[in-house]
Chain A
């Protein structure tokens, strides 16, 4: 059983640019959640996708957007990057949106300069 994978591992962008982060969910899982973990902080919920639809959103501006594909993989897009967007972005998959157990990927480290 393949776990949650994320790409790329590291990324450096310039303020104002756009970035796309990718996540492949664990086999059999139809729900993907994205979290932002700033340095020294706990992860913060960005949004969740269930069966290709957004299923809840945290306190993040609209320039954070996402997609989920028919194979349940997902993308996180961030437009107009700001310095404060520098963080570890974690993707987690779960069997359904009501599942208590989430399986996290290793994350993508985004640095905005």
Chain B
């Protein structure tokens, strides 16, 4: 079984500040990890994914995340927040080999202020 914990249901940052959204996972087998973004009244858009290989993965819109097996974490970062980054962010996990059956966290709402 697998699960995802996202610490902080709401995160507020100033425009230009570092964005850090936290995700910890639990999986009985090596996981594949994902970050999705959801804008109001829209579906989910894939930001980035970790499957195998390099543990630091880069995604769209300047976001990146690092897979740390020892810490069972996959935190999402962006060096400089933009107003357009305001949205809901979901971390998701799936066991290797069942890529389409995602288990999501409860989400973190990112607010960006001037």
Contact = CB atoms under 8 A, between A and B. Distances in A.
A12 to B, nearest CB: 17
Contacts of B51: 100
A99 B99 contact: yes
A44 B2 CA distance: 13
How many of chain B's residues touch chain A, expressed as a range? 20 to 34
Which label, helix, strand, loop or mixed, suits the secondary structure of the A interface? loop
A97 interface: yes
Interface size on A, as a range, is: 20 to 34
Contacts of B4: 42
Contact of A45 (B49, B102, B106): B102
Given A41-B106, A41-B107, A42-B105, A33 B100 contact: yes
Contacts of A58: 101
Interface of B: 4, 32, 34, 36, 41-46, 49, 51, 90, 92, 97-107
Interface of A: 4, 31, 33, 35, 40-45, 48, 56, 58, 90, 92, 94, 97-107
